[in-house]
Amino acid sequence: MDLKKAALALRSIGLPAAARTAWYAFIKDQRNRFYAARRRTGKPVPPGALQEASPVSSGARFRFAQAELEAIFLAQDLVRLSWSPGTAPAPYALARQEWPPVETQLSQKDEEYILSSQNLEIVISQNGSLLFRQPGGDPLRSELPPERQERKLNHTSRDNAGMAAWVHNAHMQAEECIYGLGERAAPINRRGGAYRMWNSDPGGSYDPGKDPLYLCIPAYLSLHRGGSCLVFYENSYPASFDFRSAEKNSPSAQCSTVIFEGGMLRYYFMAGAPDQLLERYTELTGRPSMPPRWALGYHQSRWGYKTEADVRRIAAGFKEHEMPLSAIHLDIDYMDGYRVFTINQQNFPDLLGLSKDLAEQGVRLVAIVDPGVKVDTEYSVYQEGRKDGYFCNLPGGKLSLGPAWPGWSAFPDFTDPFARHWWGEQYRKLLDLGIAGFWHDMNEPAALAAWGDMTLPMATQHKLEGCPGDHQQAHNLYGLLMNRASYEGLRLLNPEQRPWIFTRSGWAGVQRYAWNWTGDTNTSWPSLRQTIPTLLGLGLSGLPFSGPDIGGFSGDPSAELYLRWFELSAFLPLFRTHSATGLADREPWVYGEPVTSIAREYLRLRYRLMPFFYSLAWEACQSGCPLVRPLFWLNPAEPSLWKVDDSFLLGDAMLVAPVLEESITTRVVRLPGAGQPPQSDPLNWYDLWTSKLVEENGDIVVSTPPERTPVFVRAGAIIPMESGRQLALHVYAPVGDMTETTALRLYSDAGDGFGDWRLDTYRLSAKEGALEIIRQSRGNYPFPYNRVTIFLHGASPALAVVDGKGMGLKGRRLELENFERIVFIPPGSQTLSDILPQEN
């Protein structure tokens, strides 16, 4: 820990608590040493020779001399592989376990077996190496035989099967890129790095390069010239994923190495384009349900809003500065001595009154909830949890305690369904006080240790749905299951409203329950830049909703750094300012002009873009495709886009290229499509701010005055914006002719609850300068706007034909109540019938 970090830690927790963290680190080390000493590790064992292959429903089983492989197709392009021995995982990650049978064939050719579905072939060789390809296609992935290292407990007769460690090597192709692995402070392409799977609080704050962080996911997407595939290891044990050897070794020996410290080697392989992979992966591990609409607005937070008066002052500040606001967050200070599910009555004497007053202004309260429960025999949550055995124990039955904000704390065992149910019920207290959202922190779980691993001792016992295990197995699941407990509790307690939770930790499948934020980032320009690859990686790991602390957690950002971070975040799913305790105020007006006015403009733009964000959120909930996407999404076959991580796509219509360096007045932006070999459907872009079509090719240089984050809109897209009950449809004309394409799917509903919805799909086509827009709607929710204005960018028609009737334009603008079909006719065109598609 460096001095800066030590100072931050002391400021955060004070001296007596610091002493406790030292004592805890000492005893935890002792415990872990004793626990580890009980193990011995055997020699690596390969599967040995293949002895028998037999078809089973949807797949096949292969018996090797020293291991067994079962390969079951769950869909044509999705197969589950399980190498045993080793304990099978509890299916916490999975949203779907029943799959219809898939027709498969097992054939033998020379020494090899081929197991195939219609879309995928696996070649299984005599020694256990596997090759995956699409029928007749290039190899997508080629694996070496996995090796197993037995780890025996020295003195118990307990089944040791779970203690096998697995080493899994796969060849890597020359230009292969690797994405995902959850939250990583690494470049978007994870190749060249080594990553640990062990959810960790870095303590204090973190910089780019820090690994691991709070939310690890053992899944990665690989992209190379032969195609793309995704591998998800369903194994919660600590693991390492090493993609470095590929850089050191000769091309023939380029391998990635994955090591799991226990459990069965179970993984899912899926093949397809990146969007199909995300769809499949989230079919398997689940998708979020629709968030309440307010969650996509702006959130103001800091560690240090200590009283009701503070909160009212902040809300009033937003009003006074005419800045829209959706939520204020209450950090740990709202609690009574940091006891979770209690209120500090002195500082918040009327929390219900406060939440009601704020709700009238459209502002929600979000409260932090930590898993550590203060050891205090007078405190009901502790009493209940203790009495009913909901907390984690050490072997021998003593509570596994660790220091958290309230001092010594017990930790609920969320792998116990009864504990989950009990925890879910606790939220009633906060719901009754009008708390609308929940902020789950410290759920790695973090126990404050002055050095070493900031978590519970490895010997800590977990119920794991009736197949007990230790903290090695359960640690990575802890955040996932805390979120599950709360989500399920909130659904029961408040069935008419959508739960809104955001979390620091999680594991595969956590997207079903919660959004995420990137934790305690350092306040620095490199951390601002890191936001993009971190969010892109989360999105490619199945988490579509996330965002950073604007300005960084740890320090006081300069006005310029704050503003650039704010501008970037206006285009991210979670748009929230937050900071550590003891720092200067950080509301968007504290820097004075011009920051205040620019921040206000971005806030207003964000709220105008609400239908765009809401529709993207709906899409993410339908398909698992993230809101924030890498540039290669639009053209995965183009290698020059594979490593771009200083800009991102928002949906498939907008490209955001934020300012990521201090004092720069220009930046380079790579626009997909521009300057590349002609494609069937070339991509063209408009500058959002000037509406000008970008004429240059390749990397372009754009100017970046303080008020401008470069943003581009794809030609052929429609961007919806709203102002009250008025909808603006910004139509960005395609360059040249374009066959009918979906330009916008606009989703609307009441913004919360589970009632009616509607989807308006706008299809756009262009022919000889004429533009046609067709709207089709589904669903029962009434159209929420009473006025629609169409703004044309890149086209100046002479006339519009709206549902068969001619209408005049005001410049490039057309105002209507609504429409089903519009044709814009260019000046000087011949007859209408030449241009309009034939009516039936």
Tell me which residues touch ligand GLC (CB under 6 A): 303, 331-332, 368, 441, 504, 519-520, 578
Residue 548: closest CA among 454, 612, 628, 625 = 628
368 vs 835 by CB, closer to ligand GLC: 368
Biggest distance spanned by C-alpha atoms of the chain: 91
**What's the one-letter identity of residue 163?**
M
3-class secondary structure, 120: coil
| Cα–Cα distances in angstroms (integers) from residue 443 to residues 369, 450, 481, 578, 791, in the given order | 9, 18, 9, 18, 47
20 vs 293 by CB, closer to ligand GLC: 20
Compute the distance between CA of residue 210 and CA of residue 197 in angstroms, rounded to an integer.
Answer: 13
Residue 513: closest CA among 526, 503, 523, 522 = 503
331 vs 416 by CB, closer to ligand GLC: 331
Contacts with 675 (C-beta within 8 Å, 6 or more apart), sequence order: 697, 698, 699
Q: Closest separation between CB of residue 370 and ligand GLC, Å?
A: 7
Q: Closest separation between CB of residue 458 and ligand GLC, Å?
A: 23
What residues form DSSP beta bridges with 779?
758
Compute the distance between CA of residue 723 and CA of residue 472 in angstroms, rounded to an integer.
Answer: 52
129 vs 577 by CB, closer to ligand GLC: 577
How do beta strands 501-503 and 435-440 pair?
A: parallel
Q: Return the residue nearest ligand GLC (CB atom).
A: 303
Q: Closest separation between CB of residue 438 and ligand GLC, Å?
A: 13
Q: Closest separation between CB of residue 233 and ligand GLC, Å?
A: 27
**Which token pair is 221?**
């997407």
448 vs 825 by CB, closer to ligand GLC: 448
Q: Closest separation between CB of residue 554 and ligand GLC, Å?
A: 10
| Contact of 120 with 134, CB cutoff 8 Å | yes
* Rg value, the chain, Cα: 28
| Contact of 473 with 236, CB cutoff 8 Å | yes
| Contact of 305 with 365, CB cutoff 8 Å | no
H or E element in which residue 601 lies: helix 595-608
| Cα–Cα distances in angstroms (integers) from residue 732 to residues 587, 716, 764, in the given order | 35, 6, 10
Q: Closest separation between CB of residue 541 and ligand GLC, Å?
A: 20
Q: Closest separation between CB of residue 339 and ligand GLC, Å?
A: 14
Q: Closest separation between CB of residue 331 and ligand GLC, Å?
A: 5
304 vs 636 by CB, closer to ligand GLC: 304
Q: Is 724 left (phi over 0), alpha (psi -120 to 50) or beta?
A: left
Compute the distance between CA of residue 181 and CA of residue 196 in angstroms, rounded to an integer.
Answer: 9
**Is 520 annotated in the active site?**
yes
Cα torsion at 460, 463, 468, 469 (round to 10°)? -30
User: Over 84-99, what HEC string results?
Assistant: ECCCCCCCCCCCCCCC
3-class secondary structure, 800: strand
188 vs 332 by CB, closer to ligand GLC: 332
Question: How many of the other CB atoms lie within 10 Å of CB of 708?
Answer: 16
Contacts with 239 (C-beta within 8 Å, 6 or more apart), sequence order: 196, 197, 198, 218, 233, 258, 259, 260, 261
520 vs 749 by CB, closer to ligand GLC: 520
Burial of 62 (0-12, 13-18, 19+ CB in 10 A): buried
292 vs 519 by CB, closer to ligand GLC: 519
What residues form DSSP beta bridges with 131?
123, 142
Q: Closest separation between CB of residue 576 and ligand GLC, Å?
A: 10
**Annotated catalytic residue within 211, 279, 441, 722:** 441
**Is 320 annotated in the active site?**
no
**Is 646 annotated in the active site?**
no
Residues listed for the chain: 840
369 vs 802 by CB, closer to ligand GLC: 369
340 vs 746 by CB, closer to ligand GLC: 340
Q: Closest separation between CB of residue 446 and ligand GLC, Å?
A: 8
Q: Closest separation between CB of residue 441 and ligand GLC, Å?
A: 5
**Annotated catalytic residue within 143, 444, 722, 760:** 444
Contacts with 398 (C-beta within 8 Å, 6 or more apart), sequence order: none
Q: Closest separation between CB of residue 551 and ligand GLC, Å?
A: 12
Exposure string over 363-386, b if 16+ CB within 10 A, otherwise e: bbbbbbbbbbbbbbeebebbeebb
Question: How many of the other CB atoms lie within 10 Å of CB of 663?
Answer: 7
**Annotated catalytic residue within 201, 261, 370, 520:** 520
Burial of 763 (0-12, 13-18, 19+ CB in 10 A): middle
DSSP states of 321-384:
TT----EEEE-GGGSBTTBTT---TTT-TTHHHHHHHHHHTT-EEEEEE-S-EE--TT-HHHHH
Compute the distance between CA of residue 645 and CA of residue 533 in angstroms, rounded to an integer.
Answer: 5
3-class secondary structure, 284: helix
Residue with tokens 């449809």: 729
11 vs 39 by CB, closer to ligand GLC: 11
CA atoms within 13 A on the CB side of 58: 15
586 vs 775 by CB, closer to ligand GLC: 586
Q: Closest separation between CB of residue 302 and ligand GLC, Å?
A: 8
- Residues annotated as catalytic are 441, 444, 520
